[in-house]
Amino acid sequence: MAFCCHHSSLKSLQTTYSAMKNEATEPSSPERFETRAVHTGHDYVAGTGAIIPPVYLTSTFEYGNEGGFDYTRSGNPNFRLLERTLASLESAQHATVFGSGVAAITAVVSTLKSGDLVLAEENIYGCTFRLFAQVFEKFGVKIIYTDLSDPANFELIKTHQPTLVWIESPTNPLLKILDIQAIADAAHQQNSLLLVDNTFASSYLQRPLELGADLSLLSTTKYSNGHSDALGGVVCTNHDEWQDKMIFAQKALGLQPSPFDSWLILRGVKTQSLRMERHSSNALELARFLEQQTSARRVLYPFLESHPQYEIAIRQMRSGSGIVTVDFDWDLEQTLQFVESLRYFPKAESLGGIESLCCHPASMTHAAIPKATREAVGITDSLVRFSVGIENIVDLLDDIRQALAKI
């Protein structure tokens, strides 16, 4: 009985399913970011009346269906919806989703072959560094690191003509801002491609493909989802051949996300614009407070006028995002005492969720690196990174003040 209307409902959903195929988005779409975030993908629930799409918890699909689905490792309706939305928000024709940001990085690097060269910014995310060093270098992929906030080093792109130039902006945890447009131009002159890890900025604040990048990668675990309850990654591009490579990696390497995580991330994405406005305004206020009312040695935030690349930041980002890094100029004990006295900033890795967090790189993310090596790149014992949430800024500042008073 339950199956008696199977074929007629399949027919009525035909238009719907066609819209779900992993087809290019229309970059000419006239709607603004906020509207696209809420409405992209809505059309496919036509025929059911559901305002919010269901979670397709199925590993396999009946052969010959209109959506072209066969097995969830190589595609699921929840992936397609999220891909269409993220592509639209990144101003990309294509997006492919993965099970985490690291899975997205793996997908891109897996396309390289022995002898290919990646020229990477030296301040990249630690797990990207680890993946290059401990996995892909074994297969003959070569990596060179340099400081790409210094335009003099663009010469290295000319010297080495790498297959890929790999950057993040802002970087972690020092929040360096790299000039995406200038690096894209330098890369293209050598027929190299530019990948930007856009995780720290988010699609709402910065769109690398509009600035000339070839690939924009995000850990959607962070600001895209925004609620610290799912992991995901995405690679966005306008190059058809790169889209084919990413779809291949999604299924052939088993890097796909779960349908439920994709559903959660799509739900999170709908409020990204609101969240990013609040993250940025709270973070700017916290940065100004730390700079003006404490004796910190350095306060780093892209939209502070004192930031070394402030001019680039205001040109390529809509606002400064939610991360503030500060060097308090204390010893290790004082810094740990401060961090542990905070009420609203639990000590935790990750970032980009609605809740504030704080990270002490010397004892957490960078603990395995010898002190002298860490300090040489600016990661001192008194460096603290705040991921500023969407709470009321008055409460956040009160919390910082009471913890400062304990030192």
List, by residue number, the catalytic residues: 73, 125, 197, 222
Name which of 25 and 128 has its Cβ closer to ligand PLP.
Answer: 128
Name which of 67 and 99 has its Cβ closer to ligand PLP.
Answer: 99
Strand-pair category, 117-121 with 164-168: parallel
Which residues are paired to 166 by β-bridges? 120, 195
Minimum CB separation of residue 168 from ligand PLP in Å reads 5
Residue nearest to ligand PLP (CB): 101
Half-sphere exposure of 27 (CA within 13 A, CB side): 12
Name which of 199 and 380 has its Cβ closer to ligand PLP.
Answer: 199
How many CB atoms sit inside 10 A of residue 170's CB?
Answer: 27
Name which of 168 and 179 has its Cβ closer to ligand PLP.
Answer: 168
Name which of 231 and 326 has its Cβ closer to ligand PLP.
Answer: 231
Name which of 172 and 280 has its Cβ closer to ligand PLP.
Answer: 172
Strand-pair category, 323-327 with 357-359: unpaired
Closest CA to 191 of 155, 166, 162, 216: 162
Minimum CB separation of residue 142 from ligand PLP in Å reads 21
- Report residue 260: phi and psi, to 5°: -70, -45
Question: Whose structure tokens read 């229309």?
Answer: 26
Write the single-letter amino acid at 208: P
Minimum CB separation of residue 322 from ligand PLP in Å reads 12
Which residues are paired to 97 by β-bridges? 234
Closest CA to 162 of 175, 143, 180, 147: 143
Say which DSSP state 206 is in.
Answer: -
Minimum CB separation of residue 222 from ligand PLP in Å reads 7
Q: Which helix (H) or strand (E) holds 166?
A: strand 164-168
Say which DSSP state 208 is in.
Answer: G
Q: Which residues bind ligand PLP (CB under 6 A)?
A: 100-102, 125, 127, 168, 172, 197, 199-200, 219, 221, 231, 233
Minimum CB separation of residue 198 from ligand PLP in Å reads 8
| Sheet of strand 357-359, all strands in order from the earlier edge strand to the far edge | 298-300, 323-327, 383-387, 357-359
Strand-pair category, 383-387 with 323-327: antiparallel
Minimum CB separation of residue 111 from ligand PLP in Å reads 17
